[in-house]
Each structure stands twice: as structure tokens, then as C-alpha cells.
Structure 1
Amino acid sequence: MTHSAYYSPNQRRYQRGVSLIELMVGMVLGLIVVGAAGSIFLSNKQTYNATETLGRIQENGRIAFELMARDIREAGSTACGNNIPIANVLNTPGDTFNWGDGLRGYEGNMAAALAPFGTGAGQRVNGTQAIELRSSASGGVTVTKHVPSSAVVHVNTANHGFEPGDVLIICDYSQATIFEMTPGGAVLHIGHNTGNSGEPSGGNSCKALSFPVDPDCKDKPKDGKQYDDNAVVAKLHAAIWYIGNNSRGGRSLYRRVAGRDAEEITEGVQNMTLTYLEPGNDYRTASSISLWSDVAAVRVGLNLQAVEGALRSREITGVDGDALNRQLAHVVTLRGRNP
């Protein structure tokens, strides 16, 4: 017998494979390791999503407060300063073009012309508050000459961007007047003649721009106030902030400027609480304000709800299964009305 043909019993013992029990134990240990790794991965993913969602909520709140604060600070202000008399010679100023001390709040059951209640995209959600703000817009032009008898204001540039039918505000150190622009005969001319234009403001009831407005002006035309050289003419800025329905089936914070479509500012804003500070009082609701001209500050509270992605409707949920919500608040003082 050769050496290669020799067989040893020990050789068979060393060539034995893995038993079924050993295989099952190994598989169980492997499953435990994979399960632990998967659990850690899912936990980290949930933590990341929650952190990202909270960051999105904070960012949405920051954007909302920053943009709202710009309009609120300027409420009631003109290019010539605050707290000057305001004449309004429009035929039908309504709520939209009525100065109203530059500020007005709406409770959830109060209708607003610029933001009607409805269920369509961009329409105001019933039961939610709103705030309407008016001021002179930036980018005004300078008066070089005013001829009251001709109802024409000469300005320093032809690139003013105004068109007949626009509602404008003119002011100097003594007063301001809200009127509708009429054709002035030249590109450097801004007219303020009488007539019904068919625009929402209804044209001007009086060409005289004096304060107070003469009730007999329509029947007995007068020349009225002559604005000084270097007076300023600008568009009347009227904007409303409210909670509206967005096109994705949720709610968003909206802003609408008179003469334009509503703009969606930030998504996920479910509600807005507005209170107003009058000297000598604590913050009060809109229905409790006696004089809007006395309001010195506005406290804005927003209820923000997490939404995953700007165009997706699936909500990020918290440990209780509900969407993550945060209540944020910010106080804005009106320029020139500090208590």
C-alpha cells in the first residue's frame, strides 16, 4: 500500500463541516447585528428629519416675521413723516383706499375687502385674523411745480411709473392728500382732476387737495391747497396679511397688495394671532381698539406646522403621531409711534 492511499481516522475528524445548530446560532447572531444596525439607522434618520423639520419651521417663521415687520413698521407713514393730516378726495375710497390711520386689524369673523373668505387657493380661511396696513410706497418722485387751478402736478422725472387710474399720495411738511391720477397732458405732469374713472377708487370727487376736504367742492370747484416744490408723490401702498388656502390643500401665510394678486409668503402657517398695544393698556384684540391712530405696537403670534417639502403634502409627525407644531411670537413697533 502506498503512502497516498493510507487513510487516517483523524483526517476525517478535521474535515467535518458546520452543524445545523451552529449554522442557526450564526444566523441568529447575524440577524441581531443587522437589526441593531437598522435600528440605529432608523433612529438617526428620524432625528435628522425632526431636526431638519424644526429648522424649516424656524426659517418659515423668521421669513414671515421679517417681511410682516417691514409693512407694520411703516404703517401710517408718508415720505414726509408721520402724524400729518391726510385728506382723501377719492369718490369711493372704501376699505381699500381709506387711510384709516394706516392700520386696521380684523378678527376671525370680520370680512376684509382685500382678502375675502373662501375655499379657493389664495382666499382667506374663515375664522382667521388679518391685518391691513397702509403707507406711501418707496420710490416716490419730487414735485417741481404744482398748479392747483389746472389740477396738474409737475414732477422731476418722466420715469415715475405712474399711470392714470393709480391711487397716489402727495405730501409736504404740512399735510398729505390721497387722490387718483388723471391725465396731465405731458409725461412730466400728474393730473388730479375730478370725474368718475370707473376704477375701484371711483376717481376724484374734488380737484382741490386741501385738508379737510370741502364737502361743497364738487358743486363749487375750488383750487385748494398748493403743494410746495420738493413735495413728494408716491403710490399708496395698501397691503393685507392673512392666512389663506394654498394650492396643495394646506394653509399658508399670504400677503396681498391692492391692485395685485395674492402672494404666498410661507407655507405651514395654520393660524395667526394679532394683538395691539395702546398707550396705558396691555395688548388688546382688534375689536377692543378704540383709536387705531394710538396703536404703537403689534404682537404677532404664528402657529406653524411642519410640512415635508415645499410641494409635498405629507406631514412630518411627532412622537404622538400628530404633525410637529410650534408657536412663535414677535413684537413690532410702528415707526414714529413708540410708547
Structure 2
Amino acid sequence: MRISSNQRGLSIIEVMVALALSLIITLGLTQIFTSNSQSFRVAEASARIQETGRLATSIVGREIRNSSYWGCLGSDGVRDGRLNSILNDTGFDVGALLRGLDAENNAGAGNSDVLYLGGVNGNSQIKVTFQPSQQAANLQVDDSDSFNLNDILIVTNCSAGDVFQVTNLNTNNEVVVHNSGNVSVGPGNSTQSLSTNYNDDPDGASVFRPRQQRFYLTDNANGVRELVTDGVGISGSGIGNFSTPVAILQDVMDFQFQFGVDSDQDGQVNAWEDPLGLTAAGRTQADNTIAIRLSVLIRSPEDRVTDGAQDYCYPGWLDCVANSALATTANANDTFLYRVYTTTITMRNRI
């Protein structure tokens, strides 16, 4: 069979056209792949940021709502402490355990704020069954096994409250002892007498574990910024000292809040103010606070998500639309994705 001379191969023009068409198709497929890959990165980063923002506002918001809880004593709190005022060798003020709210402005990583929340742990409520007298050094309860020697505890009814340290336990008779004098660890009790006779309240009295929890930002060993929490120890060798910080969430880049201050005690916020700190004025401000406005800045875990520096408005209560100068721009070479999450939480035990 003979092959026609015009079917011996492809001309150079045909090859070039084929290559050009192949190149166009390849570039198109590459563009589609790149676009889909970038869309996936943005979607994944956005989902991760949204989850971190939701958890941060949810976890801190729940603690704010539950703070300043002192049993049926209500928002007045436990004002009559029986502990020695300063814990030996640490300088820790045990009066801080009796406070529902404190704050430090710009004291955390990246000039973020630090939030202190206090109260009693409602899950630890143990009923007082008998108190021999106001001057007695012991309380009979319905479950002394819940406590340990040297624990710092709070006893309250609906009209009074005392904080004391356990100096002995009689678990056979369900008795908690709070003698004055030296203890092996902790501040000890300045007196064994309590401020009232807790048999007198018809609604009864309860013993709780106090708690003070702190939320703030720090940079870990890998240089990643984290939202962490720790708390003041009330038992064992850690009494009066902040515990080892526990990381809650990574890539929380900023943590700011304002106090909703009810200056005339009418149950309404009169002004939103930055916290004044751990000073007399700051503690008066915190005592008059009934709500907290919280704003967190969340960054994506991975970079190369955006094409360049991103503008965002932080904290979230700023009006960056009316005043564009308030907006923040990330570093020019920053290709992380940022989102701002802001919420307002009422301290329900103060209203």
C-alpha cells in the first residue's frame, strides 16, 4: 500500500498551533487550580478563625456571666474575711479572693488587657448543718470529704459571709475546723470566730470553694500568641500563688475589653470605660461594673491567605466607618487573614 505524499507528517505551522492550543489549555487549567486552591485556603482560614473567635468569646463570656457569685449573699459579696491579710513570703493579698472583678489595662502580650474574675464555685456547695456558736472553731457540714487540710473556703448565708482556712478535718463527724494560729502552708486564720452565727438564717448556710481566674495573652515558646488562663491556688503548696497557665486558644492576637459602669446604681450602664488597673480607683470602677464589652482579634494559623496587608477595625466598638483613621493596617508583608469578634456580656450576679 502506498502512502500519499501529503500524509507524511505535520508541518511546523501545525505543530506550533497545536503547542499554542496546548499551552492555552494548560494555562487555563493552572489558573483554575490556583484559583480553587486559593479559595480553599481562604475558606479554611476563615473557618478556623470563626471557630477560634466563637470559642474565645464563648469561654470568656461564660466566665464573665458567672463571676461575682457568692451564693445567696448576692452581689454584696463576702466582705468579712478571717484570713491573715498577707500570705507569708509571697505578698499575695488574700482580699483579692473576695473580689468578683479586676483588670489590668495593656498588661498582656502586645499591650492586650488582663481580666480577673472571682466568686465561688457553685458546684462545690456544701451545706452547714450545725455551728456550735459564733466563737466556735468548727462547722458541721453534710460532706467534709469534699475538703482538704489547709483549703481556703468561704461560708455564706443570705446576709453574711466569711473566708477561712481549714486547720483540721474530722471526717467521721463531718466537722471542718478553722482555728487561729500557725499553719503548715497558707496565711492562717487571724481569729477562729466568725462574723455571725450561721444557725440563725432559716435558709441555711453553705460552704464554697472561692475561685479567682485570670485571662490574658502570652507568646509561647514557638512565638505563637495564645489566650491562656490561670487562677489563684486555694489548696496545697500553691495557696495564694497563680497556677501554671493553661493555653485555651492559639492565634488570638489581641484581647481588649471595656467596663460598663453603673455609677448611680440604677442597674443601667452609664459609661463604657477602659479598665483603670489594680488601684483604688480601678477597684472602685470594677465594683461598679455590671457589664463587660469584649473584643478579640483572631489571626489565621497559616499565612499566604491574602494578597497583602489587610485593614481591620479593632477594637470592635470603634466607629471606623465614620473615622477611617481608627482602622488598623497589618504589616505590609503580612499575608495572614484577620477577623475581629466583639460581644457584650452582662454580669448577671450584679443586676
| TM-score, with length taken from structure 1 | 0.80
Q: Measure how far apart 1:158 and its partner are.
A: 4.2
The CA distance in 2 between the partners of 1:96 and 1:40, in whole Å, is 63
Q: Measure how far apart 1:255 and its partner are.
A: 1.0
- Superposed, 1:193-208 pairs within 5 Å as 193-199=179-185, 201-208=186-193
CA contact (8 A) 1:80 1:232 kept: no
Matched, 1:141 2:126: yes
Structure with max Cα Rg: 1
Give the direction of change, closer, same or farther, for the CA distance of 1:198–1:61 in structure 2 (3 Å limit).
Answer: farther
- Superposed, 1:1-339 pairs within 5 Å as 11-84=3-76, 85-91=78-84, 92=86, 94-95=92-93, 98-99=96-97, 101-109=99-107, 124-125=108-109, 127-139=111-123, 140-148=125-133, 149-160=135-146, 162-186=147-171, 188-199=174-185, 201-210=186-195, 225-228=196-199, 230-259=204-233, 260-279=243-262, 281-287=270-276, 289=282, 290-308=284-302, 315-320=303-308, 321-322=333-334, 323-338=336-351
The CA distance in 1 between the partners of 2:137 and 2:109, in whole Å, is 43
CA contact (8 A) 1:101 1:292 kept: no
Letter in 2 for 1:138: G
Letter in 2 for 1:152: N
Letter in 2 for 1:134: G
CA contact (8 A) 2:148 2:169 kept: no
How many pairs align? 294
Q: Measure how far apart 1:96 and its partner are.
A: 5.8
Give the direction of change, closer, same or farther, for the CA distance of 1:126–1:17 in structure 2 (3 Å limit).
Answer: closer
The Cα offsets for residues 28-79 of structure 1, whole Å up to 9 and x where unpaired, read as: 2112111111111111111111111111111111111111112211222112
Q: Measure how far apart 1:285 and its partner are.
A: 1.0
Gaps of 5+ in 2: 234-242, 264-269, 309-332
Give the secondary-structure state (helix, strand or coil) at the position aligned to 2:41. helix
Give the direction of change, closer, same or farther, for the CA distance of 1:328–1:248 in structure 2 (3 Å limit).
Answer: same
Give the direction of change, closer, same or farther, for the CA distance of 1:297–1:327 in structure 2 (3 Å limit).
Answer: same
CA contact (8 A) 1:128 1:271 kept: yes
Q: Measure how far apart 1:198 and its partner are.
A: 4.7
Gaps of 5+ in 1: 110-123, 211-224, 309-314
RMSD: 2.2
Worse-superposed segment, 50-59 or 254-263: 254-263
The CA distance in 1 between the partners of 2:95 and 2:38, in whole Å, is 50
Letter in 2 for 1:299: R
The CA distance in 1 between the partners of 2:348 and 2:100, in whole Å, is 12
Give the direction of change, closer, same or farther, for the CA distance of 1:97–1:44 in structure 2 (3 Å limit).
Answer: farther
The CA distance in 2 between the partners of 1:291 and 1:206, in whole Å, is 31
| TM-score, with length taken from structure 2 | 0.77
Letter in 1 for 2:255: M
CA contact (8 A) 1:269 1:304 kept: yes
The CA distance in 2 between the partners of 1:262 and 1:304, in whole Å, is 20
The CA distance in 2 between the partners of 1:65 and 1:227, in whole Å, is 39
The percentage of counterpart residues that share the same residue type is: 26
Give the direction of change, closer, same or farther, for the CA distance of 1:155–1:272 in structure 2 (3 Å limit).
Answer: same
